[in-house]
Amino acid sequence: MTEQEWAACGDVGRMLAFLWAGGHLSERKQRLFTCACARRAWQLLTDGRNRRAVEVAERYADGEAGRIELEGALREAYAARFDSLDRGPPAHAAYCALETCRRGAPLRLEAIVTEARRASGHWDQADLLRDLLGPAPFRPLLVVPAAVLDWSGGLVVELARSAREQRLALGHLDPQLLSVLADALEEAGAGGELVEHLRGPGPHVRGCHVIDLLLHKG
C-alpha cells in the first residue's frame, strides 16, 4: 500500500492487514482503535457498566488505570452482557475493548476487524485509523521543534492536553478546542499538515496522531 492509497482507502481490513504486516500498529494504538470503535455505539450502551468498560480501557491504554481497576471493569462488563439489555454487538465491543487491554498482546487481526465492524459499521473506521496514525507508516516520525512546544509558556502543550481530555459524548475531540490549538500552532510557527489535520473534519479521537505528537505519546 502506498501513502496515496492509504489516504483514500475505505477498506479497514486491508489497512489493518498492512499495518499488521509492517509492525506499524502499537498495542496502545490498537487498544485506542478498539475503544474508538466501541464509542460509535455509545448511545446504544444503556448499561453504565459497558460505558465504564470503554472508559477504563482508554485510561489503561494510556497508563492512567491499573490492572486491578481493569479487571474489575472486565468483570462488570461481563456481567452486564448477561443481565441487562446490552446484549448485542455494541456491548460485545465494549467487552472486547477491555479484553484487548487485558491480554497484553495484540489480538488476532480478524478479531479486531470483527469487533470494529460490530461496534460502528464500516463508515468511519478507515478515518479512525488515519486519525490515530496519520502518515506515520510511510514517513519518519515527525519531531515538533522545542520552540513550538515552549511557545507562550507551553501553551500549545496545555491546549493539546485540554483537547485530549475534554471530549464529546461519542469520544470525539471537541472541534472548537482543536481549532484553538491549530491557531496556536500556526502562531508558534508550526503549520502544514499538523494544522490541516486538526482543522479537518475528523473524526478526531483519543490517540489522534497530532495530539500524541505534541504530548510525546506513541
Domain boundary among 92, 115, 135: 135
15: pLDDT strictly greater than 60: yes
Q: Give domain status of residue 12, yes or no.
A: yes
Give the model's confidence band at 104: pLDDT under 50 very low, under 70 low, under 90 confident, else very high.
Answer: low
Q: Are residues 92 and 199 in the same domain?
A: no
Q: Which range is least confidently modeled, 48-57, 81-90, 120-129?
A: 81-90
The total domain count for the chain is 2
Share of the chain above pLDDT 90, in %: 29
Domain boundary among 81, 108, 135: 135
Q: Give domain status of residue 131, yes or no.
A: yes
What gap in Å lies between CA 169 and CA 133, rounded to an integer? 22
pLDDT tens readout for residues 40-83: 778 777 788 888 888 898 899 888 998 899 889 888 887 877 76
What gap in Å lies between CA 23 and CA 76, rounded to an integer? 33
Between 183 and 97, the more confident residue is: 183
Give the model's confidence band at 183: pLDDT under 50 very low, under 70 low, under 90 confident, else very high.
Answer: very high
Q: Are residues 23 and 127 in the same domain?
A: yes
Evaluate the CA torsion angle 22, 24, 28, 33 in order and state its sign: negative
Instruction: Give me the domain span that covers residue 170.
Output: 146-215
Evaluate the CA torsion angle 94, 115, 172, 3 in order and state its sign: positive
Q: Give domain status of residue 90, yes or no.
A: yes
Query: Which pTM does this prediction carry?
Result: 0.85
Q: Are residues 113 and 172 in the same domain?
A: no
Domain boundary among 110, 135, 160: 135
Q: Give domain status of residue 112, yes or no.
A: yes
Q: Are residues 62 and 94 in the same domain?
A: yes
Q: Give domain status of residue 19, yes or no.
A: yes
pLDDT tens readout for residues 145-170: 899 999 999 999 999 999 998 888 77
119: pLDDT strictly greater than 70: no
Q: Give domain status of residue 172, yes or no.
A: yes
Q: Give domain status of residue 141, yes or no.
A: no
Q: Are residues 159 and 130 in the same domain?
A: no
134: pLDDT strictly greater than 70: yes
105: pLDDT strictly greater than 60: no
30: pLDDT strictly greater than 60: yes
Q: Are residues 68 and 9 in the same domain?
A: yes
Give the model's confidence band at 192: pLDDT under 50 very low, under 70 low, under 90 confident, else very high.
Answer: confident
Q: Give domain status of residue 140, yes or no.
A: no
Task: Find the length of the chain.
Answer: 218
Q: Are residues 123 and 207 in the same domain?
A: no
